[in-house]
Amino acid sequence: MLNFSSFSISARSISAVRVGVYLLFISLLFPFSAYSDQVQTHDKNVTQYKLLVLGDSLSAAYGLRAEQGWVSLLQDYWNEANKPIEVINAAISGDTTDGGLARLPRLLELHQPTHLYIELGGNNGLQGHRPKKIKDNLAQMIELAKQNDIAVILQEIQIPTNYGRRYTQLFTQNYHQLAQEYGVPLVPFFLEEIALDSSLMQNDGIHPTAQAQPMIVEFLAPKLAPLIVQGAQNLGG
């Protein structure tokens, strides 16, 4: 016959086990809680401006690793310079102004940026879309951002001249007209000089290489930072 008395545990032993389990739970809990609080405090103290990049493959590090792309490098650059700017990359390879317009409401709700950088239209142009349709889509994006008190920065886009002089002129004029009509800053096309050097372009002749990405940052960083601060001040930020 089994002697069940040999399996009995005193009340003191049970209490000791309970205390040990409780202390183990606390020791596991607090390191994670402290880390979470530290991250939230860091974001709150450092990030003053939030830049949402709405773009296509030129901003999505096409053919490269994400960390090699100019958007990621721009964030690294501003971090090292202690700039209180967070960069959110919402660029998707192959995207058009139609896709960007469809995605924008959700992106604004999700990220609540202070600034919107629009780098779209290249794929529309390469597909021969009507310039007026491209302009209308861009205009709606600008209006949506302004309705939400978000400062807009418009990126000029250029397409190859083999699409015909009239079409390429109408295409590029869209960006200059929109900048003037809505009073938003227009950033010159960042590949205008880079595209002239074939060694800085991938085999397709459209997308910049990894070597060209830091050059894009050098071109854009001194232009974007003042616009972000100025844009926030104009909105009362």
11-70 confidence digits (pLDDT tens): 444 344 344 434 333 333 333 333 222 222 234 436 799 999 999 999 999 999 999 999
Token output for 136: 């209308």
What's 62's DSSP letter?
A: T
Long-range interactions of 39-43: CB distance < 8 A, separation 24+: 43/86
Q: Is the backbone of residue 6 left (phi > 0), alpha (psi -120 to 50) or beta?
A: alpha
- Residues 84, 75: contact at Cβ < 8 Å? no
113: left (phi over 0), alpha (psi -120 to 50) or beta: beta
Tally of domains in the chain? 1
22 within domain boundaries:
no
pLDDT of 83 above 80: yes
- Buried b / exposed e along 175-214 (16+ C-beta atoms within 10 A): beebbeeeebbebebbbeebbeeeebbeeeebbbbeebbe
Q: What pLDDT was estimated at residue 186?
A: 98
Instruction: Provide the β-strand partners of residue 153.
Output: 117
The residue to which tokens 């940026």 are assigned: 113
In a domain? residue 69: yes
Question: Is residue 30 assigned to a domain?
Answer: no
Is 188 among the domain residues? Answer: yes
Span 135-161, average pLDDT: 97
Map tokens 């994006």 to a residue: 141
What does the pLDDT read at residue 231? 54
Computed over every residue of the chain, the mean pLDDT equals 84
User: The domain containing residue 185 runs over which residues?
Assistant: 48-234
Element (H, E) at 55: strand 49-55
Contacts of 217 (CB under 8 A, 6+ apart): 70, 73, 74, 77
Which tops the pLDDT comparison, 7 or 152? 152
Q: Is residue 29 part of a domain?
A: no
Helix (H) or strand (E) holding 53: strand 49-55
**Paired tokens of 233:** 């001040």
* pLDDT exceeds 50 at position 193: yes
Name the residues annotated as catalytic.
Answer: 57, 204, 207
Q: Tell whether 101 is covered by a domain.
A: yes
Statement: residue 10 has pLDDT above 50? no
CA distances from 229 to 61, 140, 182, 205, 233 (A): 26, 24, 19, 35, 6
Q: What is the CATH number of the domain that holds 124?
A: 3.40.50.1110
Would you say residue 204 lies in a domain? yes
* Inter-residue contact 178 to 139 (CB < 8 Å): yes
> Does the residue 42 lie in any domain?
no
